[in-house]
A and B are shown apart, each in its own frame.
Chain A
Amino acid sequence: MAQTLATIILQHYPYAVLFVMFAISLWGLIFKPNIIKKILCLAFMFDAINTLYALSCWRWAKYPLPAILTDLHPTPEELKVFASSAVDPLPQALVLTAVVIGAATTAALLALAVMIYRHYGTLEMSEIRKLKG
């Protein structure tokens, strides 16, 4: 029983860590007034989700191998073994795209933060409430 519990924890702790990371970034996004901290939290949130994507590469293979086939003329049996043991390459492509998008988003947000500082002389959202909502 104890062993199975340990296995379960070992299998699932990355998810737990990432969900905690997600929750922290959500908390920071809502309760921290500083814009730079908010941007950091958003970047943090995207990192957490990107890592979740990366984790899901391993979700069907028990002992996964990199998606590389070394034999130039594989037999159907080798291909079957390869397909059942290789990691899923799609999430890696998705994460690569999302990282680029995240960089662009962060750049746009930082540009806005610079302009906020030039206009108001502060980065605290709570001090610059000109708009009432």
Chain B
Amino acid sequence: MPTLIYHFPVLSMVIPLVGAFIIPLLSTVTSDRRVFAGIALTTISISALLVWSMAAYVFTTSKPIVYIMGGFPPPVGITYYVDEASALMASLVGFVGVLVVIYTLKYLEEDYGVNWFYILMQTAYLALLGLTYTADLFHMFVLFEVTCISTYMLVAFRKDKPISVEAATKYALISVFGTGLYYFGVWYLYNTFGTLSMPDLVLKLMGQYWTPTGAPLGDPRIGITVFVLTIIVALGILSATAPFHWWLPDVYTAAPAAVAALFSGAKDGVMLYLMMRILFTLLGAGSEHAILPFSNAILGLLLMMGLLSALLGSLFMLAQTDVKRFISWCTINHVGLIVVGIGLGLTKGFLALGGVLAAVLHILNHGIIKSELFMCTGCFTKQVGTQDMMEMKGIIKAMPVTASFFLLGCIALIGIPGFAVFWDKFVLLATILDAANRLSPIYLGVLFVLVITMAIEAFAYLRVIQWFVVSEPTEKVKKARESSPVMIIPITIMIAVSALLFLMPSLLLGLASKAASALLNQERYVAAMEYYMKLLVHH
């Protein structure tokens, strides 16, 4: 048994943290941007390599990695738990993180104060990694705050632009409220169960009270109801699910494209992953014997939120002329699809696996393509000098490579076979059809709404394709030149990975279904940490 790999979760976070502390020290002696970028690229690449090797280990051996902080076993100390789902999400964060840092090497060449950018980038990256690993609810709150505080400042990075500052303020106010609400939910849960360690909570919900924290003090049903409602609102705010979506288009439009790429690729996905981790692994919402009051109401709530996001996202896509705002509304649309998948996970049994599988697949594939699209918009705005699509008409003649990758990304998100997003939409719609067959014909309505949103989305994208390809180039576009290869390489890699994953459905679906069943498997979650919890019990 290799022992070093058990330290990889924490090492993959500590290395970027060290980088984040070195950069301010170095900026007292040098102001060379290449030094700062080099440090950030090195630490994030090493961290991503650790994450990928950890993922390879977890997927090949099917053994979760448990890291005990400071040697304090679970109910007392903080635990990191890496199973297939965490490893998959952490790999996504690593993938997006490395490519975004490569992209910023050229993207930020005209900005000043890049040392601060790379410090915040590294802290945001490590906090997102930590969120995928953690098995402690209060530690999760701390990591939420680390993610949020670094991302407010990343959004306001170009602080000489008024809209950046305004968007950052808006985002900061709403997400501080979201994390505050989560903090409140955690308090209620602690008041009821007397523990914040997730494996310990799972044991209590299964009716086993042998851990030192003992039996619940309050009524578990009330505690769980309050907690579920607060986390749905809190994570809905942080992942921009309707009706808490309105901050997202402003923030993604005003933030630098690299930051928007990190947000939509990694942050949204991780927040939705946490929603699944809490609903399914912690509360067992996907299993038959779960103590989850109003399970059907929560299912309905999630489906409504998902459908509303999908509908609003696709409808508002039609009204946008700003390219980043257009893609932001598309993000809301796809977050809606993921939330519908999570909602289906509450239907129990085989359908639950299908819904969670669709959600995991879509977090992965949508994250990759959406980061790619935001990176392309960064290239366009850098060359054309505007974010308005009306002034970007005919851009394929001026920037053929970037524009064709952008259009490939659009085609991928529509769900046309050729890119991995096709499999997500296929699995999602097939699961809903199955639910309509087995459960109730209401799901046909869900299917109908989703198909309509997909059609509107396809129409919106086709219109953009028409503007970019068929229309005559405008004056501004004629002056634009092809972007630097450093910016095109990450875009190419993302599109290529998506196309490869489409060609290897057995690999993609294999990985994602392992992750989905890991999310739904409470027994395995507890069994992996039971050994450590028993260390505290005297016989």
Contacts and interface: CB of A to CB of B under 8 A. Distances in A.
A133 B172 contact: no
Contact of B190 (A22, A56, A113): A56
Interface size class of B (residues with CB under 8 A): 35 or more
A109 B176 contact: yes
B145 A101 contact: yes
B187 A105 contact: no
B227 to A, nearest CB: 14
Contact of B169 (A53, A90, A113): A113
Interface of A is mostly: helix
Interface string A59-75: 11000000000000000
Interface string B161-186: 01101111110110011001001100
Contacts, number: 92
A109 B168 CA distance: 9
B190 A108 contact: no
B183 A46 contact: yes
Contacts of B138: 94, 97
B246 interface: yes
A94 to B, nearest CB: 6
Given A42-B176, A105-B176, A108-B152, A116 B165 contact: yes
Nearest to B174: A29
B166 A42 contact: no
A58 to B, nearest CB: 11
Interface string B141-167: 110010011001100100100110111
Nearest to A114: B165
Interface string B16-35: 00000000000000000000
A131 B184 contact: no
A133 B169 contact: no
Interface residues of A, number: 37
Instruction: Give the top 9 A-B pairs by smallest Cβ distance, nearest first.
Output: A131-B250, A119-B162, A115-B165, A112-B169, A101-B145, A56-B191, A133-B246, A49-B184, A42-B176
Given A97-B138, A108-B152, A109-B152, 17 more contacts: A38-B173, A45-B180, A46-B180, A53-B190, A60-B194, A88-B194, A101-B142, A105-B145, A105-B172, A108-B172, A112-B165, A115-B156, A116-B165, A119-B162, A120-B166, A133-B247, A133-B250
Interface of B: 138, 141-142, 145, 148-149, 152-153, 156, 159, 162-163, 165-170, 172-173, 176-177, 180, 183-184, 187, 190-191, 194, 217, 246-247, 249-250, 253-254
